[in-house]
Chain A
């Protein structure tokens, strides 16, 4: 593969960067008690949708821009770098499930509305124990007289409160299947969690006889495909967040003076930053390869997303800890942005499987390969 970004990729990255640098303001979050809503979570999305970001992964014939996952990585990198509060991740997850599992009619009626930004999706897949991989589900579906209904909870649903429609994994006849659920109906109750990463919105959803429309494809068809893409997004956000964490640490180390020189003149600080730079190079490389492998449907695609997620999110956690150490006590205060990155890193590491869980998957892949 060619690791060099094309001019188109660089152009896309630069335009995403200048847009987000102008639009994203995290200052409202530096007040205790603030949530993503105060940082223009909804308004940011409207502007992103105007740029076509709601339909990045939707094919052109369905009203999207049909971009590759490498293109998407350029945009997601910048969102991770700026911690851009918006329902992007929820919409992406829902879109992928619909793209992979929906019938021709379902896709025809919904995708163009998603691409225009009018219809916001969210993916309800995880359960209370944090597991998103099935085979069961806390929420149960059953066939009623006028279609399916869902009962029970889904947990850690990203961007659920903002969504008009949920794509839900629920158990039916002992297996997991996927459903479209109108989020605004009476049988759906959405509770926004007091989530530590206040740049995101994360919810619990309670279903009570909620009307649901089943997606065509089965769980084995939908989930592994969708999961690989979500893992790529989390890894890409984390790699770029790590790069930003490094940049912030380096700037501060050049500015802050102690014992008569900038603290960045001391090897104890230099060596931490050099290590962080190495980790950042590694994370970015792992992410680019995973994006490429997924785009090309390479046999190594799944193991590569597991590698990218495990490495990047863990390295991000380490870097955000080191960042606060370098800043010293000021970095521990709510009025600084350091904790926003620290919390995003922590959350990204846990979402959709911890680094250790994905390392376990890597070994499983290799065992299967060896068998």
Chain B
């Protein structure tokens, strides 16, 4: 067992992978699933490959938008293990030691200008022991979809930045305390946000209640994120509007950070400049709406003419087009 790897068996890690993944943001020590570098983060289209060589897989390629990879010891990697089957079928997941030779991490400086959340990760023939495959070869797509539902639920709490930042309750108490609520141009919007926030909280209880009554998790994860993400954006947007011109001074938040400022997401100013990411990450608003329209409401699905073509052939035709 390599150094730095937690003192638990790989089997245990496999069993608890779902849980681990769901809590990865909280723990801050485990990178969330490594997203592929293609536009729109389409996992099915990813190009990073894992090639079996004896008792190892050799990983080559690149990942992007990996949360906290610069702090993580363990990564969850989705790689293409078979290029001769249609794109959804050839994926597998691995647990990887982020300190292995051949893995390098480069920070992405996002538009907030703060310390990075995200990274690019490069794999230059990095070796992964074969027993760190999660499930079987080819299970990658199914695992990723299951994890994505969990992640959407986890990131649909009532508040800014996927529920990790200030909430509408925080906003309204600050506005009441500061007298900002007396401005009629602010008050009705604040009330709308408070109402939405309470409903987003109730939606979470409702999902929990369903789980406790053994109803399976459905596409409601997409619904909750569709509702919660823009709600969170509007909270910190209103806080900025309350500030007017002075809100444009870097680092100048409308109110004192929540939770005593333990995390940068508690900062009202940071939360505002982070805002555009919230309807992009974990499924863009547009993709979520497609998911709801197609899987919940049963509207016609977008057709993908490449869904059944072996991945390797798709790459050839792409090359031809490029030439």
Contacts of B203 in A (CB 8 A): 281-282, 285
Q: CB of A184 within 8 A of chain B?
A: no
Which residue of B has the minimal Cβ distance to A270? B293
CB of A307 closer than 8 Å to a CB of B: yes
Flag if A274 contacts B209 (CB, 8 Å): no
Q: Does residue B11 face the partner (Cβ distance < 8 Å to A)?
A: no
Instruction: Decide: B286 and A267 in contact? CB cutoff 8 A.
Output: yes
Q: List the A side residues contacting B293 at CB < 8 Å.
A: 264, 267, 270-271, 273-274
Complex interface residues of chain B between 281 and 323 (CB less than 8 A to chain A): 286, 288-290, 292-294, 296-300
Per-residue CB contact flags for chain B residues 25-65 toward chain A (1 = under 8 Å, else 0) read 00000000000000000000000000000000000000000
- Which segment, of A26-34, A206-214, A363-371, faces chain B? A363-371
Contacts of A286 in B (CB 8 A): 195, 198-199, 202
CA of A254 to CA of B294, assembled, Å:
11
A-side contacts of B206, CB under 8 Å: 3, 285
CB distance from B175 to the nearest CB of A (A): 9
The dominant DSSP class at the B interface is helix
Give Cα A184–Cα B118 distance, bound, in whole angstroms.
74
Please determine whether A359 and B199 come into contact, CB atoms closer than 8 angstroms.
no
Q: How far is the CB of B200 from chain A (nearest CB, A)?
A: 8
Known: A250-B298, A277-B296, A311-B199. A362 touches B289 (CB 8 A): no
Within the complex, which residue of A270, A275, A311 is in contact with B299, where a contact is CB–CB below 8 Å? A270
Given A254-B299, A363-B181, answer yes or no on A274-B289 (Cβ-Cβ < 8 Å).
yes
- A300–B194 Cα distance when bound, in Å, is 14
Name the segment of B84-92, B184-192, B245-253, B261-269 touching the other chain. Answer: B184-192
Residue among A253, A278, A307 facing the most chain B CB atoms (10 A cut-off): A278
A250-B299, A278-B227, A286-B202 known; A270-B195 Cβ under 8 A = no
Inter-chain contacts of B292 with A (CB < 8 A): 274, 277-278
* B213 CB to nearest A CB, Å: 4
B299 touches A278 (CB 8 A): no
Docked Cα-Cα span, A346 to B302, in Å, equals 35
Q: CB-CB < 8 A to B213: which residues of A?
A: 2, 4
Q: Answer yes or no: A356 CB below 8 A from chain B CBs.
A: yes
Chain B residues closer than 8 Å to A363, beta-carbon distance: 172, 181, 187, 190-191, 194
* List of A residues within 8 angstroms of B187 by Cβ: 360, 363
In the complex, chain B residues 188-218 whose Cβ is within 8 Å of any chain A Cβ: 188, 190-192, 194-196, 198-199, 202-203, 205-206, 209-210, 212-213, 215
Q: B226 to chain A: which residues have CB within 8 Å?
A: 274-275, 278
Set of chain B residues within 8 Å of A275, measured between Cβ atoms: 226, 289
A261 at the interface (CB under 8 A from B): yes
Chain B residues within an 8 Å CB radius of A270: 289-290, 293-294, 297, 299
| Total number of B residues with any Cβ neighbor in A under 8 Å | 40
Does B195 contact A307, Cβ atoms closer than 8 Å?
A: yes
- B17 within 8 Å of A by Cβ? no
- Complex partner residue of B199 from A3, A265, A277, A282, CB under 8 angstroms: A282
- The answer to whether B209 and A3 have CB atoms under 8 Å apart is yes
Q: Give the contacting residue for A359; candidates B192, B198, B286, B289; CB below 8 A.
A: B192
The answer, yes or no, to whether A53 is at the interface (CB within 8 Å) is no
Q: Which of B181, B191, B209 contacts A4 (CB 8 A)?
A: B209
Q: Chain A's nearest CB lies how many Å from the CB of B294?
A: 7
B7, CB-defined interface residue at 8 Å? no
- Closest Cβ–Cβ distance, residue B288 to chain A (whole Å): 7
Chain B residues, CB < 8 A from A2: 209, 212-213
Residues in chain A near residue B209, CB distance under 8 A: 1-4
| B146 interfacial by beta-carbon distance below 8 Å | no
Which residues of B are at the interface with A, using a C-beta cutoff of 8 A? 172-173, 176-177, 181, 187-188, 190-192, 194-196, 198-199, 202-203, 205-206, 209-210, 212-213, 215, 220, 223, 226-227, 286, 288-290, 292-294, 296-300
Q: A4-B209, A286-B195 are in contact. List 16 more A-B contacts (CB 8 A).
A: A2-B212, A2-B213, A3-B210, A4-B213, A265-B300, A270-B294, A270-B299, A274-B290, A275-B226, A278-B226, A307-B195, A311-B196, A311-B199, A359-B192, A366-B176, A367-B176
